[in-house]
Amino acid sequence: MLKKKVRQEDINLYAKASRDFNPIHIDEEFARQTPTGGTIAHGMLVLAYVSQMMTGAFGETWLEAGQLNVRFKTPARPGDNLTISGKVKKCTEDNTCLTVVCDVLCTNEKGETVISGETVVRVNKNENRC
């Protein structure tokens, strides 16, 4: 499990690193006039937290051969306290690799789902990639 607090300064820095300068993320005055009523974090920033949790669990194997399939449900806003969690749903094994399927979830402090979905990691049992 991973806990993250969404901060506007991180959103601003993420905008620079990802080259996504959509004003809905970084311009408070603009964002106030939209249906979101204020700035929201990039979905990909929140998804990065999910990937970070998976990296913590599976290390380089995740970076090299991870898969994810998620849906963005609710925007994350500056000040939100997010909880990112994962639960193993299925493990299968053959001669060369172990396949681990996890349900992943990111919720805010109100219990609203920000991201939900599934990840797949294939862990090799030998030296070769699965």
Partner 1 sequence: MIEKSRFDFNQLSQGFEFPAESYILDESTIRDYLQATGDTSNLYQQRPLVPPLAVAALAMAALSEKITLPPGTIHVSQELAFCGLVFSGDQITCNSKVSRKVDRGGLRLMSTDIMVTNQHGKTVLTGKVGFVLPNMQKIPG
Footprint on this chain of partner 1 (rule: CB under 8 A) = 4, 10-11, 13-14, 16-20, 22, 34-35, 42-45, 47-49, 51-52, 55-56, 59-60, 62-72
CB of 64 to partner 1, least distance (A): 5
CB of 59 to partner 1, least distance (A): 7
Of residues 101, 80, 57, the one with CA closest to residue 3 = 80
Nearer to partner 1, 67 or 81 (CB): 67
Q: What is the dihedral of CA 85, 90, 92, 97, to 10 degrees?
A: -10
Report, in Å, the least distance between residue 103 CB and partner 1: 15
Coil, strand, or helix at residue 5? strand
Tokens at 6, concatenated: 């969404």
Closest to partner 1 by CB, 35 vs 111, is 35
| Gap between the Cα atoms of 18 and 64, Å rounded | 20
Q: Considering beta carbons, is residue 18 or 96 the nearer one to partner 1?
A: 18
Nearer to partner 1, 12 or 96 (CB): 12
Min dist. Cβ of residue 93 to partner 1 (A): 21
* Distance, CA of 110 to CA of 91 (rounded, Å): 32
Name which of 11 and 100 has its Cβ closer to partner 1: 11
Contacts of residue 6, Cβ cutoff 8 Å, sequence gap at least 6: 41, 46, 76, 77, 78, 79, 80, 81, 82
Q: In angstroms, what is the minimal distance from the CB of 43 to partner 1?
A: 5
Q: Residues with Cβ < 8 Å from 34, sequence gap 6 or more?
A: 24
